[in-house]
Amino acid sequence: MAAKKAASGKLALSAVLDLNEASVLHGKLMSMRGKDIVIDASAVERVGVQCAQVLVAGATAWQADKKSFLVEKASDAFEKTMALIGISETQLIAKEI
């Protein structure tokens, strides 16, 4: 399991966000519903589309919950892959309202 919870409301993404990681990430996010969350993407070296799907669905869920969902310290690989697959920064953010 690569996604580790650094502290309550914090989630560090693993280096490789591939097909296998998608279910793990999904499970983690599901377990963290209801509280503000900060995602640390600094270690990410590779992102697959399925993990991106989970992250976008997560941001949408947090938005619905009116909780904050932030991606911080995104690595170069993370940022570029998101741009490559057409996901903007704003689509990975849920603001606490």
Partner 1 sequence: MDMNEIKEIFFQECEEQLAELESGLLKLNDGDRDPETVNAVFRAVHSIKGGAGAFGLEELVAFAHVFETTLDCVRSNKLEPNQDVLKVMLKSADVLADLVTCSRDGGSVEESRTRGLVKELEALANGEALPVAEAPKAAKPVAAAPAKPTDDSGFQPIPFTFDGFGEEEKVVEQFTYEVTFKPTRELYSKGNEAALLLRDLSRFGEMGIACDMDQLPTLENMDPEASYFGWKISITTPKSEEEVRAVFEFAEWDCELEVKPAEASEGEELPMIPVPFDLSSLDDEPAPQPETAATEEASANVVKAVNAAVEKKESAAAAAAAAAAATQNNAAAAASSAGQTIRVDLDRVDRLINLVGELVINQAMLSQSVIENDNNGVSSINMGLEELQQLTREIQDSVMAIRAQPVKPVFQRMSRIVREVADMVGKQIRLVTEGENTEVDKTVIDKIAEPLTHMIRNAVDHGIESPEKREAAGKDPEGTIKLSAKHRSGRILIELQDDGGGINRERVKQKAIDNDLISPDANLSDEEIDNLIFAPGFSTADKISDISGRGVGMDVVKRSIQALGGRISISSRPGLGSTFTMSLPLTLAVLDGMVVTVAGQTLVVPLTAIVETLQPEASAIHSFGANQRLISIRNSFCPLVDVGRILNFRANQANPVDGVALLVESEGGGQRALMVDAIQGQRQVVIKSLEANYTHVPGIAAATILGDGRVALILDVDAVVGASRGQSLKPEMSLAAAG
- The contact set with partner 1 (CB under 8 A) reads 1-2, 4, 6-7, 10, 12, 14-16, 18-19, 22-23, 25-26, 29-30, 33, 38, 40, 42-43, 45-50, 52-54, 56-61, 63-64, 70-73, 76-77, 80-81, 83-91, 93-95
**Whole-number minimum distance, CB 51 to partner 1, in Å?**
8
**Whole-number minimum distance, CB 35 to partner 1, in Å?**
14
Amino acid identity, position 39: I
Q: Cβ closer to partner 1: 4 or 35?
A: 4
* Secondary structure string (H, E, C) spanning the chain: CCCECCCCCEEECCCEECHHHHHHHHHHHHHCCCCCEEEECCCCCEECHHHHHHHHHHHHHHHHCCCCEEEECCCHHHHHHHHHCCCCHHHHCECCC
**Whole-number minimum distance, CB 78 to partner 1, in Å?**
10
Which residues pair with residue 39 across a beta bridge?
A: 11, 71
Q: Cβ closer to partner 1: 35 or 95?
A: 95
